Structure 1
Amino acid sequence: MTIHKEGFVILTVIFLILIGSNAAIYFFMDSPVSVLKWTILLSSLLFVFFAAFFRSPKRSIYLQDKAIISPADGKIVVIEETEENEFLKDKCIQVSVFMSVFNVHINWFPISGIIRYVKHHSGRFKAAYLPKASFENERTTIAIETKEQKNIVVRQVAGALARRIVCYAKEGESVTQGQQLGFIKFGSRVDIFLPLDSRIDVKPGQKVKGKQTIIGWID
């Protein structure tokens, strides 16, 4: 299993804490052997859980113009017409992918283009599947202009457990569909705001795979 770079420091700290805890039990408890066999098992399971959270699967992609690929693993929780007032300032279609702690938490660019806008907002940490999470929770908003001069907004949203949003996007740079956009740690959501005339190929409740599932198409 390949570990994502965002997990290196956290996993090292967790590993040292677990080693230290088991060492303390061994040196300072009476009859530590009977306890250690359980604490070592629990420590191993805990470390494997965190390591799995930071897993970085190798996935190929076939670049497709006008296709919008899923920016994250998870489940579709929102498909609706809405108004995006931060960058688009117009009506659009919102598609949201909710990531549980068991999903891969890498985010990918859903389409190729030029980054026109990046902004991080501090906020609350409500459950990421709630509708208000998109504009009340801590979040980072990224706007991408396609070669057809269509604007798409991607929003990384923190959840009840997510306390760290990592975004690699920089204004003015060109990005390629499937390139890593960022990482959200411990449960979260990604919103995509598309032009009203976009064709949506997913349904609420559908499970999607980042960099693989086609969310829809733009004209």
Structure 2
Amino acid sequence: MNRFIAKEGWTVVFTLLGLLLLVWIFWGFSFILLLAFLAFLFLFRASKPYLVCNDEKAILAPIDGRITRIENAYYEDFGECLELNIKNAFYDCGSLSAPIKMQFEKLTLRHGLFLCSELEVAKKMNERMIIRAFAGDKSIIMRICAGSLDRKLKLMNNPHHLNAGDKMGFLLNGSVSLLLPKDTRVHVGLNDEIKAGSLLAYLS
């Protein structure tokens, strides 16, 4: 079942299905409930990323979306780095996967609000998860930020060792920032529409 519907959406999808059937049996068919069921079925659809590259230094897209930022940045004790941000819209598939083979060093969950991610204040106030990890001999950071439709950030089974393409979680309309070493070679451009598993960059 989780090949077609993300586990995070099972409760709401099957609740709506049961409600649709009950209303149909006792009162009659409801087009409103059918549309609601189909809408949530679409929102929580699952897909396995098609990995375009097997190179261990390749950084692959962790989620469907649009590239909204490619710029130099400075992040706490990580120092100067390259930030690559992907915005996942509600109509994009929200399955979140590992961008590279990596081993977790530190995971921090910062609870917060669920504001529209287009607002400047959302960058600091929305709930977010920060994962620092090793990819071979390089350090990378994944910063996952919830959107207005998300209600909780949670990793699947809280894994610590992941291969590229392994499922990590689900976002409805959040964003994912990858903080990479400054010498990373980028293979995408600003505003590019990308699919999970497509090539983003190479670690040097």
**TM-score, with length taken from structure 2:** 0.88
Question: Deviation of residue 131 (structure 1)?
Answer: 5.3
Residues 141-161 of structure 1, C-alpha deviations (whole Å, 9 max, x = no match):
1112011x2111111111122
2:162 is aligned to 175
Could you tell me how far 1:216 is from its partner in structure 2? 0.8
Q: For residue 190 of structure 2, what is the aligned residue in structure 1?
A: 204
Counterparts in 2 of 1:169 and 1:131: CA distance versus 1, 3 Å = farther
- What is the aligned partner in structure 2 of residue 33 from structure 1? none
Equivalent position of 1:152 in the other structure? 140
Structure 2 residue 50 is the aligned partner of structure 1 residue 65: no
Q: How many Å separate the matches in 1 of 2:130 and 2:123? A: 10
Corresponding residue pairs, total: 201
Tell me the CA shift for residue 14 of structure 1.
2.4
Compute the displacement of 1:177 (Å).
Answer: 0.8
Q: Does residue 214 of structure 1 match 2:204?
A: no
Alignment of 1:86-97 (within 5 A): 88-97=77-86
Matches of 2:183 and 2:122, distance apart in 1 = 25
Alpha-carbon distance in 1 for matches of 2:157, 2:14: 26
Structure 2: give runs of 5+ residues left out of the alignment: none
Structure 1 residue 89 displacement after superposition: 3.1
Separation (CA, whole Å) in 1 of partners of 2:157 and 2:67? 23
Counterparts in 2 of 1:129 and 1:144: CA distance versus 1, 3 Å? farther
Equivalent position SS for 2:99: coil
Deviation at 1:22, TM superposition (A): 5.6
Specify the SS of the correspondent of 2:108: strand
Percent identity over the alignment?
Answer: 24
Task: Decide which of 68, 88, 93 is 1:77's aligned counterpart.
Answer: 68
Equivalent position SS for 2:165 = coil
Superposition pairs for residues 31-46 of structure 1, below 5 Å? 40-46=30-36
Alignment of 1:127-142 (within 5 A): 127-130=116-119, 132-142=121-131
Runs of 4+ in 1 over 6 A off after TM superposition: none
Q: Give structure 1 stretches of 5+ with no counterpart.
A: 27-35
| RMSD across aligned positions (CA) | 2.2
Residue aligning to 2:13:
11
Structure 2 match to 1:99:
88
> Greater shift after overlay, 202-211 or 55-64?
55-64
| Alignment-derived partner of residue 41 in structure 2 | 51
Q: State the TM-score, normalizing by the size of structure 1.
A: 0.82
Deviations 1:53-97 (A, max 9, x none): 111124442422211101110111111111122xx4311111111
Query: What amino acid is aligned across from residue 154 of structure 1 in structure 2?
Result: M
Contact 1:134 1:191 in 2 (8 A): no
Report the alpha carbon displacement of residue 13 of structure 1 after superposing the two structures with TM: 2.0
Q: Which has the larger radius of gyration?
A: 1
Q: Distance in 2 between matches of 1:131 and 1:108?
A: 26
SS in 1 for 2:153: strand
Alignment of 1:20-39 (within 5 A): 26=27
SS at match of 1:153: strand
